[in-house]
Amino acid sequence: MGDFVKELWLFMRVRKKYWLLPIFVVMAMFGGLIVLTQGTAVAPFIYTIF
């Protein structure tokens, strides 16, 4: 996982694609939210947000 993040950062730095960083951060947050709330009692409250 660390190698992927390092390679992604090098790609963005070399090609000046810094605008991709917020997209990846938001996608990682949503992915973590889905993984953490799967099968818990918090899930119905998360669905009301969206």
Three-state DSSP class for residue 19:
coil
Question: How high is the pLDDT of residue 40?
Answer: 67
Is 11 within 8 Å of 17 (Cβ atoms)? yes
Question: How high is the pLDDT of residue 37?
Answer: 73
What is the distance, to the nearest Å, from the Cα of residue 20 to the centroid of all Cα atoms in its chain?
A: 12
Q: How far is the C-alpha of 47 from the C-alpha of 49, rounded, in Å?
A: 5
Which residues in the chain land under pLDDT 70?
A: 39-40, 42-43, 46, 50
Q: How far is the C-alpha of 9 from the C-alpha of 11, rounded, in Å?
A: 5
Q: What is the DSSP letter of 16?
A: T
